[in-house]
């Protein structure tokens, strides 16, 4: 969310940014919010003047009451009392007018906030311009993508060959988009998460397990309304939502806090289940475990000073590349274009893993810097250790690993011609020393 003062002083820049995000329907909102802000400030000014006048009359009455007590005759008392009554009547009129102004101001502020939540954040100048994800830019590749000379089955068939997947029972219990993982596949799932946890701890990140639910005000603070509607499950009858990613409650942890600037950056890695509606139709390749309503994830979160956010942005997505390469999975970095950025994001890139079966890459990680957008909504500030001044912090997030989608890439890239799956050395300690998985079917 932008600062209203910034919008007021830079309307054309804000409009140009909206055009770059191909959201022209939002252009009238800029003029509307500036006009509403002018009315709000005018209303505030009128209210302040009325309060000053009321206070002056109340102070004057205080002195008159003192004179009334000392008055020697009835005529003098009557004259003083008349002044008091007139002042009290004027105060009553002012209070009635002030109540109307406060009501008007509250309505204006509500609409201003509604619009400010809708106007997108200013994107970084380096972001490629394009209307949708088809204009994302392939930046660089890591590892050589291989297409083996033997067929790669669908990931559900690979998992079932180890007796590791039961979609039928999950469908009876919870419906489509859920699954049971069994045996070695379930163990592999947990091994990947444990390895990712230790990988990030070794990078200096502090491990956290956050709440898996949050209040509505935190939801509004960490994501845009379209994202919220498309993703979030609400607990009926309560002000609680299931998290779609641990980023939500990890950033929400700092709501209404002023942090010590000397302690920044705060670098955290969090585990959580994630719950998502995943509305919309799914293609053939997205059946199985590609799009599900429940999964688990290891996340990276950074809260830092403004001047450091691009350093951490680069560092975070490179962490993902290093982790996936340690598991023998080729990946590429894809720069997200303007039209593919959520409204709060300043810059974002995807890390995509190679799929030998589809002979193309698919998304497994998403790294973003959101500038001060989340901090402004949640009022997360820090006090500079040198100047003592406070200002908004910057927030970033990145997927470390998110099985089961990550498992799809792992199984496809480590599957052998005989149906076994090689376990990379870094993962073997988490698999009880196993060097490969052997099919049971």
Give me the domains of the chain, ranges plus CATH numbers: 4-116 (1.10.287), 133-437 (3.30.930.10)
Task: Please report the pLDDT score of residue 284 as a whole number.
Answer: 44
Backbone angles phi, psi at 418, to 5 degrees: -85, 5
- 344-388 pLDDT, tens digit per residue, is 999 999 999 999 999 999 999 999 999 999 999 999 999 999 999
Q: Closest Cα partner for 257 from 373, 383, 371, 370?
A: 383
Residues pairing with 296 in the sheet: 273
Contacts (Cβ under 8 Å, ≥6 apart) of 142 = 321, 324, 325, 330, 331, 332, 333
- DSSP state letter for 347: E
Structure tokens at 116: 């400010």
* 17-23 long-range Cβ contacts below 8 angstroms, 24+ apart: 17/120, 17/122, 17/123, 18/119, 18/120, 20/123, 20/127, 20/129, 20/338, 21/120, 21/123, 21/338, 21/339, 21/341, 21/343, 22/131, 22/338, 22/339, 23/120
Burial class for 40, CB neighbours closer than 10 Å (0-12, 13-18, 19+): buried
| pLDDT of 72 over the 70 cut | no
Q: Which residue has the higher pLDDT, 79 or 318?
A: 318
Task: Please report the pLDDT score of residue 430 as a whole number.
Answer: 97
- 209-262 pLDDT, tens digit per residue, is 999 999 999 999 998 877 777 789 999 999 999 999 999 999 999 999 999 999
User: Is 133 in a helix, a strand, or coil?
Assistant: helix
Task: Please report the pLDDT score of residue 40 as a whole number.
Answer: 94
0.85 surpassed by pTM: yes
Q: Closest Cα partner for 297 from 373, 398, 383, 157?
A: 398
CA 341 to the chain's CA centroid: 12
Q: What is the mean pLDDT of the chain?
A: 91
């Amino acid at each position: 969310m932008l600062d209203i003062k910034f919008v007021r002083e830079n309307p054309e820049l804000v409009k140009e940014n909206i055009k770059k995000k191909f959201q022209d329907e939002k252009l009238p909102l800029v003029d509307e919010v500036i006009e509403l802000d002018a009315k709000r400030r005018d209303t505030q000014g009128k209210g302040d003047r009325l309060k000053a006048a009321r206070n002056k009359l109340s102070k004057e009455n205080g002195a008159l009451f003192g004179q009334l007590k000392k008055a020697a005759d009835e005529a003098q008392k009557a004259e003083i009392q008349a002044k008091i009554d007139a002042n009290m009547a004027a105060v009553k009129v002012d209070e009635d007018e002030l109540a109307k102004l406060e009501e008007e101001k509250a309505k204006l502020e509500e609409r201003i906030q509604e619009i400010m939540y809708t106007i997108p954040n200013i994107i970084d100048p380096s972001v490629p311009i394009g209307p949708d994800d088809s204009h994302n830019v392939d930046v660089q590749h890591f590892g050589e993508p291989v297409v083996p000379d033997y067929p790669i089955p669908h990931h559900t068939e690979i998992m079932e060959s180890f007796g590791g997947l039961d979609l039928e029972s999950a469908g009876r219990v919870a419906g489509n988009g859920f699954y049971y993982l069994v045996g070695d596949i379930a163990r592999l799932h947990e091994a990947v998460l444990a390895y990712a946890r230790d990988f990030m701890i070794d990078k200096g990140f502090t491990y956290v397990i956050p709440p898996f639910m949050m209040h509505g005000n935190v939801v509004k603070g960490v994501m845009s309304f379209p994202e919220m509607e498309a993703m979030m499950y609400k607990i009926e009858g309560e002000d609680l939502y299931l998290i779609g990613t641990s980023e939500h409650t990890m950033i929400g942890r700092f709501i209404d806090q002023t942090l010590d600037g000397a302690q920044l950056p705060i670098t955290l890695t969090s585990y959580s289940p994630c719950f998502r509606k995943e509305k919309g139709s799914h293609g053939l390749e997205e059946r199985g475990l590609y799009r599900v309503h429940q999964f688990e994830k290891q996340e990276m979160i950074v809260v830092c000073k403004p001047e450091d956010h691009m350093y951490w942005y680069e560092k975070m997505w490179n962490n993902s590349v290093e982790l996936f390469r340690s598991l023998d999975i080729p990946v590429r970095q894809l720069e997200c274009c303007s039209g593919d950025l959520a409204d709060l994001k300043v810059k974002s890139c995807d890390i995509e893993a190679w799929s030998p079966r589809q002979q193309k890459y698919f998304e497994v990680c998403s790294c973003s810097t959101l500038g001060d957008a989340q901090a402004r909504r949640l009022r997360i500030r820090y006090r500079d250790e040198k100047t003592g001044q406070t200002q908004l912090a910057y927030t970033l997030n990145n997927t470390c690993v998110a099985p089961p989608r990550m498992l799809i890439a792992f199984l496809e890239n480590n599957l052998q011609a005989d149906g076994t799956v090689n376990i990379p050395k870094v993962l073997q300690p988490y698999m009880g020393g196993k060097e490969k998985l052997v099919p049971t079917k």
